[in-house]
Amino acid sequence: MTDRDELFDLTIRYATAIDSRQYELLSTVFTADADLDYGEVGHWTGAAEITEFMDLAHRGAANTLHRMSNQMISVDGDSATARTYVDALILGPDGSGVNAIGCYDDEAVRTADGWRIGKRTFTSVRLVMVGS
């Protein structure tokens, strides 16, 4: 598997962890000291804080879909950058919820356990409530 393939899988693992409520998988996505800046949504530091937020934010959701696409990945030795388009739909039991569309800009590092995201910035293009 190439570095690019592993980095692609890293972003898909993030979406899978959230959508399947397998939050322990997030520890295989982010570094222990990762910095996530999601703009108006929030800012978190460290894999533990990120995992706690993701669990709380999605706990009441009946369904979530994090669709990742249009990836641009650049590898330079043991570091990499990636831009991924995201279209996230988070729905409650009544069908209402939120739709967040934008880009993840990631800075990843190669660790002894594989590639991990050390810094992520979410740039919102559209953040709207959706009805049932």
Q: For each successive 10 residues of the chain (132 residues), what is the average pLDDT?
A: 97 96 92 95 93 91 96 98 97 94 98 97 96 78
pLDDT of residue 40: 86
* Rounded (5°) CA angle 56-27-119: 90
pLDDT of residue 11: 96
Q: Which two tokens stand for residue 61?
A: 């959701």
Spatial neighbors of 29 by CB under 8 A, at least 6 apart, are 10, 13, 14, 17, 116, 117
pLDDT of residue 41: 87
pLDDT of residue 26: 87
Among residues 12, 122, 26, 103, the alpha carbon closest in space to that of 65 is found at 12
Separation of first and last alpha carbons in the chain: 42
pLDDT of residue 84: 98
The answer to whether the CB of 53 falls within 8 A of the CB of 43 is: no
Burial degree of 13 (CB within 10 A; 0-12, 13-18, 19+): middle
Residue 47, CA atoms < 13 Å, CB-side half-sphere:
15
pLDDT of residue 73: 98
CATH 3.20.20.240 for the 3-130 domain, yes or no: no
